[in-house]
Structure 1
Amino acid sequence: MQAMVASGRYSDATPLDAATLGTAVEEFLDQSWHRFLPVLDHAPTLLNECRPALSPWPKDAATLSRLTDAVLQTGAVLEGVFQNSVAPQERRGQVWPAVQTWLTDGGRFLRQARLSAPHRRPVLPATAPARSLTAGARPAPHAH
């Protein structure tokens, strides 16, 4: 403990200084918000397509319900952000519950969305020839 206090950092190298920690939290919240924006764009449509009762994970329904509520509540905040009527600190406080829901439950949502996706990528047969992806690789010259 004394060594930690002397170093000014927690064992994970996080600064002990409250001001620095506050800045780190603000940066985390801002980064989380920016990563959550695409979720706000695409989640409503995908959430409507999910049918957890028909999936191997029917208990995901509660997760999808929480995420739906979070997305809907954040939509109102988003309008204020675009109109610049919501200060960054206020936005962080208002959107954090939705971001936290996404961070906690996003994996379950993604598995439901993948299962419900109307278009699937074609599956290549296991016997498909391997192709080299090395940079600068050129096909072998043809003999004439």
Structure 2
Amino acid sequence: MDFQLFMNDVVQAGRKEMTEAGYQELKSADEVDELLNKPGNTFVMINSVCGCAGGIARPSAAYMKNYEVQPDNYVTVFAGQDREATERVRSYFEGYEPSSPSFALLKDGKIQTMIERHEIEGHEPIEVVQKLEKAFDQYFK
């Protein structure tokens, strides 16, 4: 199998998993700015082809759609694929280095906190979910 075709399949499966969970894909800098310049709470999932994205981050992100505390927006960008959108959304994450997969919680376009790759990779999904629940409770209630 051609490696590029394989990677396209992995990317498409990762995209589909997040959109089926109810996340809005942002694919351009304009889409990022339009959404983040509106008032409200936004949960951003930085998607990637990394194994920890597929096995830990995406299922954890999907679970959060069922949590009692809900932000106004659930969005996702795909690192390494939607470069313009990913670069732009990361420009809102002041004080944080690029990390994928990762999660960002924003209020009125201002970063509140992040859960970075090192807090996802090597952890059980339930541990990541618990970190997300704690962050939702702290920043989105």
Q: TM-score, normalising length from structure 1?
A: 0.24
Instruction: Compare the two structures and name the one with the higher strand fraction.
Output: 2
- Larger relative contact order (CA 8 Å, sep ≥ 6): 2
Q: Who wins on radius of gyration, i.e. which is larger?
A: 1
Q: TM-score, normalising length from structure 2?
A: 0.25
